[in-house]
Amino acid sequence: MNLAIVGMQFGDEGKGKIVDFLSENFDIVARFSGGSNAGHTVVYEGNEVKFHLLPSGVLRGKIGILGNGMVIDLKKLQREMEMVRELGVEPKILISSRAHVVTSFHRILDEMEDEIIKIGTTKQGIGPSYAAKHTRIGIRIADIFQGDLEKKLKLLSEIHRLELSEEEIKKEARELKETGEKMKGMVEDTEIWLNNAIDSRKSVLFEGSQASFLDIDFGTYPYVTSSNTTVGGIVTGLGIPPSKIDKVMGIAKAYTTRVGAGPFPTELHGEDGEKLRERGREYGATTGRPRRVGHLDLVLLRYATVINGIQEIALTKVDVLSGMKRVKIAIKYECDGEKKRFPPANINNCKPVYEEIDGWDNIEDKNLQRFIELIEKETGAKVKIVSYGASREDTIMR
Ligand code: IMP
């Protein structure tokens, strides 16, 4: 059985923990989009470990695939592998020969562009690397080992008017080659490798990064990341046909958070927001930025369920809301006087219409059951996993 995991909100739903929890049952964990903008937190033997590029399952000795749909900063990857080795685990990974690299030039561009566009990106060079891919001036992993690497870097510099010196271009090419050579043994045509593995009955967990509302097509454009983070990203970002995805699980937090700019209809401001942020320890895993926080939004979850074909949901951080007298949940939007069950293309003018239920004190409280049943009724998906803490033990299968 091959399972896809996707985020249902704006990221940081707790995908790292759920992937880590489920990865025991799979042979391979494969990432299909994004790069070091992701921050997947896993608790391993009492230590908090943060992954940015490696699929979270590598800590459990699983084979990790970095698919062609990713943009990879090789130096960062090398450092992350070192971190895993220090924990006593030798990471087993394969890197797609067709994945694109993030160079230091893409990072510079990300810094410069975000000064103007003000998306509030993670400054990891993600957007510029994907832009280069689509403008056909990108550099793939396989291209590092070709003779014309300097020419490619020069083109990138010229097109973006970076005015880099010969010396800077030579240095970047040299460093890319050096790191690339160290990783050459892990480079593979992963789309064929992975399809063969599935054909010989190996099971795969497809690990989504970011989330549905950061998707370049379905998210709150332009406040999105630059890749398809939804289920279609698996097909193009790993070369896996839809028929090989057996089940889709969505990860949703019991409330909503967002890092960076962009519309957020259920956002909580002031003291209430502050309290929720502190209780949930809502600070970015990649940038350390305080996350914006708000009520659960079922309009978003309903849409994410439809576009991803989500059958099951893992609901995380229900413990953070415990002790609250009443819990507010957005059931629909009112946008320019019209009621909406699904988010329109622009949600800037949408006001949430709330339903309120009694809060819960503990995991067995029947009010928590009512909360879960409401999510199931409104999305049509089954809440299969409930997570109430960072460690693997704080998880219930329903
Ligand atoms: P980028 O992916 O760095 O280009 O950033 C684009 C937007 O996506 C910004 O609002 C980021 O804060 C957000 N973003 C990117 N990756 C993550 C993530 O892993 N979790 C939450 N937000 C993210």
pLDDT in tens, the chain (398 residues): 999 999 999 999 999 899 989 999 999 999 999 999 998 888 888 888 889 999 988 989 999 999 999 999 999 999 999 999 999 999 999 999 999 999 999 999 999 999 999 999 999 999 999 999 999 999 999 999 999 999 999 999 999 899 999 999 999 999 999 999 999 999 999 999 999 999 999 999 999 999 999 999 999 999 999 999 999 999 999 999 999 999 999 999 999 999 999 999 999 999 999 999 999 999 987 788 899 999 999 999 999 999 999 999 999 999 999 999 999 999 999 999 999 999 999 999 999 999 999 999 999 999 999 999 999 999 999 999 999 998 889 999 99
CA–centroid distance, residue 225 to ligand 1 (Å): 6
- Of the residues 210, 215, 256, 264, which should be mutated to test ligand 1's pocket, given the most ligand atoms within 8 Å of the CB? 210
Domain count, the chain: 3
**CATH number of domain containing 359:** 3.90.170.10
**Do residues 327 and 377 both lie within one domain?**
yes
- The DSSP letter of residue 62 is P
**CATH number of domain containing 158:** 1.10.300.10
Nearest-angstrom CA–CA distance, 153 and 36: 21
- The DSSP letter of residue 196 is H
Nearest-angstrom CA–CA distance, 327 and 7: 22
Where a domain ends, among 210, 234, 249? Answer: 249
The domain of 112 spans 101-182
Q: Where are the alpha helices (DSSP H) in 253-397?
A: 270-279, 298-308, 318-321, 366-379
CA–centroid distance, residue 139 to ligand 1 (Å): 22
**Do residues 207 and 191 both lie within one domain?**
yes
The residues annotated with a catalytic role in the active site are: 12, 40
Total-model pTM = 0.96
Q: What's the CA angle centered on 269, arms 266 and 271, to 5 degrees? A: 130
**Do residues 241 and 276 both lie within one domain?**
no
**Do residues 284 and 173 both lie within one domain?**
no
**Do residues 372 and 294 both lie within one domain?**
yes
Q: Please, are residues 347 and 333 in contact by the beta-carbon 8 Å criterion?
A: yes
Where a domain ends, among 197, 231, 249? Answer: 249
Of all atoms in ligand 1, which is nearest to the CA of residue 260?
A: 10
Tokens of 122: 């993670």
Tell me the CB-side half-sphere exposure of residue 297, using CA atoms within 13 A: 28
Name the residue at shortest CA distance from atom 8 of ligand 1. 225
CA–centroid distance, residue 221 to ligand 1 (Å): 12
**Do residues 268 and 371 both lie within one domain?**
yes
Where a domain ends, among 195, 225, 249? Answer: 249
Residue in the structure block whose two tokens are 């996707």: 6
Q: What are phi and psi of 188, to 5 degrees?
A: -150, 155
**CATH number of domain containing 22:** 3.40.440.10
Of all atoms in ligand 1, which is nearest to the CA of residue 289?
A: 12
**Do residues 227 and 258 both lie within one domain?**
no
CA–centroid distance, residue 323 to ligand 1 (Å): 31
**Do residues 204 and 80 both lie within one domain?**
yes
The binding-site residues of ligand 1, defined as CB within 6 angstroms of any ligand atom, are 11-12, 37-39, 119-122, 124, 126-127, 209-210, 214, 223, 225-226, 259-260
**Do residues 310 and 351 both lie within one domain?**
yes
